[in-house]
């Protein structure tokens, strides 16, 4: 029986998972279902400022979960302002307490950490809080925080080590700047903040920091949200600027100095133009670096076992079964070359991999039409091709873009942000106007996108979308009544409600 094989005497485990994030834990628990002997090695190398966290990986501890909760804090601030027009009366001054928010968020994260440990124990998965690195064929060395080393062997290994924030490599960056690894547990209000970067992490953090009332500036080297639809990315930038977030474009920091110690202190940031020799200086309480993330693959002994990585990016190339060039070593999640860096993708890939290895399954992870949402102040949900990618792949003459602005009913009474929300679908004319790109900019964008992603998996066409009756009055109904094409040049702005 495939599901009940005994571990060969030559190995300690059937499967050792290196990395206790979303993907690694999902794979480990799945393998335990098939009565496999499984070990998870998880270790958080502290940030330059000394922060570390519990079991669960980036998403739970310093990523999606705290980010969405702090985004919610910002949305509640906006809702308070809106509520006056709906008849709610309260004192003029409304204040936000940073410490109350971070303590509440960290308490919830702590409960998740505990839950993961309990789940592993219940499923009889061995967990060690130790740093795993390959030292030879089928062998890893596990080093705990006290420096105690142990060797373990396994028939198969799964690398799920994820990524960590990148630093600029300039004077003062690691000494004085923070990253997303530090922000969500910061023990003081960050005050006037410079966010360096134009990634979704940069814009999401800038958004909620401004949303809780802080003075925020974003320094952008070139374009916003590289890899995302640029039409939408620019609309997000415009909305953020209109809502009081400052943008410094085409500059990069070259030096960070501490002017005054404190919580927060005062930092002087010297920056240089990317277009010339212009130098500017600015003073901030906090500098948050969000310029990208690097795969944690260079210090886990992959060279000792011959696993090939992309030397430039550190990413691991795998086949369509998540297998590296070394047959008994697999990899999932953010460390994969040319794959999406999203928690649910890692979870799905991990579970399906284990089912193929131990349960005779054949289903592979589908990396196409994966929905995602960027939790900027105006949320952005997307699935499928960006407009640029669709034009490049199919040719401009073979795609039709339908689009419209819309005004959420909830925003009409406070009379704010008309013609800021936006809906767009991209259709392949040659394939019955099949929907190959879905984009929505507006409240609850993730909730809207999830359902349409399922429809796209089923191959929905524009005609089928048009024949779907909308739910009134909700934002998502706009997708059932799109008539204006970009090609026509007709106006999509709403007049009245």
Tell whether the model's pLDDT for residue 496 goes beyond 70. Answer: no
Give the DSSP H or E segment for 374. Answer: strand 372-374
Tell whether the model's pLDDT for residue 226 goes beyond 70. Answer: yes
Strand-pair partners of 336: 316
Confidence of residue 9 (pLDDT cuts 50, 70, 90): low
pLDDT by residue (tens digit) across 439-483? 999 999 999 999 999 999 999 999 999 999 999 999 999 999 999
Contacting residues for 353 by C-beta, under 8 A, at least 6 apart = 27, 158, 321, 322, 330, 332, 365
Q: What is the pLDDT of residue 183?
A: 98
Compute CA distances 397 → 212, 429, 430, 488, whole Å: 45, 8, 10, 13
CB–CB of 34/358 below 8 Å? yes
Strand-pair partners of 75: none
pLDDT by residue (tens digit) across 394-440? 999 999 999 999 999 999 999 999 999 999 999 999 999 999 999 99
Concerning whether 243 is annotated as a catalytic residue, the answer is no
Tell whether the model's pLDDT for residue 65 goes beyond 90. Answer: yes
pLDDT by residue (tens digit) across 22-33? 999 999 999 999
Reference 65, options 99, 104, 105; nearest CA is 105
Rounded-to-integer distance, Cα 455 and Cα 462, Å = 11
Contacting residues for 401 by C-beta, under 8 A, at least 6 apart = 387, 424, 425, 426, 427, 485, 486, 487
> 9, 96, 138, 472: which one is catalytic?
472
Tell whether the model's pLDDT for residue 2 goes beyond 70. Answer: no
pLDDT by residue (tens digit) across 166-215? 999 999 999 999 999 999 999 999 999 999 999 999 999 999 999 999 99
Tell whether the model's pLDDT for residue 3 goes beyond 50. Answer: no
In the chain, % of residues over pLDDT 70: 98
Rounded-to-integer distance, Cα 69 and Cα 88, Å = 24
- pTM score, whole prediction: 0.96
Q: Please state at what angle helix 22-33 crosses helix 343-358, rounded to 10 degrees.
A: 30
Residue 100 backbone phi and psi in degrees, to 5 = -60, -45
Average pLDDT, stretch 286-315? 98
pLDDT by residue (tens digit) across 68-108? 999 999 999 999 999 999 999 999 889 999 999 999 999 99
Q: What is the pLDDT of residue 93?
A: 87
Confidence of residue 497 (pLDDT cuts 50, 70, 90): very low
Query: What is the average pLDDT score of the chain?
Result: 96
């Amino acid at each position: 029986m495939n599901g009940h094989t005994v571990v060969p005497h030559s190995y300690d485990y059937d499967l050792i998972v290196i990395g206790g994030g979303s993907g690694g834990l999902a794979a480990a628990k799945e393998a335990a279902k098939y009565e496999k002997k499984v070990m998870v090695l998880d270790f958080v190398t502290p940030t330059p400022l000394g922060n570390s966290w519990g079991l669960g990986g980036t998403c739970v501890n310093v990523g999606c979960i705290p980010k969405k909760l702090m985004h919610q804090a910002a949305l509640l601030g906006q809702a308070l302002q809106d509520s006056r027009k709906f008849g709610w009366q309260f004192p003029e001054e409304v204040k936000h307490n940073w410490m109350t928010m971070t303590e509440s968020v960290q308490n919830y994260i702590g409960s998740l950490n505990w839950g993961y440990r309990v789940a592993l124990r219940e499923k009889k998965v061995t967990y060690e809080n130790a740093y795993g690195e390959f030292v030879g064929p089928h062998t890893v060395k596990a080093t705990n925080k006290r420096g105690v080393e142990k060797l373990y062997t396994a028939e198969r290994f799964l690398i799920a080590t994820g990524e960590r924030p990148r630093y600029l490599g300039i004077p003062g960056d690691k000494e004085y700047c923070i990253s997303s690894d530090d922000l969500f547990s910061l023990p003081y209000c960050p005050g006037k903040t410079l966010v360096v970067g134009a990634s979704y992490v940069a814009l999401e953090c800038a958004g909620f920091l401004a949303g809780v009332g802080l003075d925020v500036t974003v320094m952008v080297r070139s374009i916003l949200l590289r890899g995302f639809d640029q039409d939408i990315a620019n609309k997000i930038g415009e909305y953020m600027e209109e809502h009081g977030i400052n943008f410094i474009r085409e500059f990069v920091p070259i030096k960070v100095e501490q002017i005054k110690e404190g919580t927060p202190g005062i930092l002087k940031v010297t920056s240089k133009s990317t277009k010339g020799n212009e130098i500017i200086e600015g003073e901030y309480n906090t500098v948050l670096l969000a310029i990208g993330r690097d795969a944690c693959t260079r210090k886990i002994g992959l060279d000792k076992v011959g696993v090939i990585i992309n030397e430039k990016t550190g990413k691991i190339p795998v086949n369509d079964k998540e297998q590296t060039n070394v047959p008994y070593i697999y990899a999932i999640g953010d460390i994969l070359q040319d794959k999406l860096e999203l928690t649910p993708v890692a979870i799905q890939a991990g579970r399906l991999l284990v089912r193929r290895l131990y349960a005779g399954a054949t289903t592979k992870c589908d990396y196409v039409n994966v929905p995602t949402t960027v939790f900027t102040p105006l949320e952005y949900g997307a699935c499928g091709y960006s407009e640029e990618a669709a034009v490049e792949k199919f040719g401009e003459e073979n795609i039709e873009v339908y689009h419209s602005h819309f005004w959420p009913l909830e925003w009409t009474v406070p009379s704010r942000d008309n013609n800021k929300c936006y809906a767009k679908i991209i259709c392949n004319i040659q394939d019955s106007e099949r929907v190959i790109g879905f984009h929505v900019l507006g409240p609850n964008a993730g909730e809207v996108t999830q359902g349409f992603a399922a429809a796209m998996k089923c191959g929905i066409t524009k005609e089928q979308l048009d024949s779907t009756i909308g739910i009134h009055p909700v934002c998502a109904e706009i997708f059932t009544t799109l008539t204006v094409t970009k090609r026509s040049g007709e106006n999509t702005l709403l007049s009245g409600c």
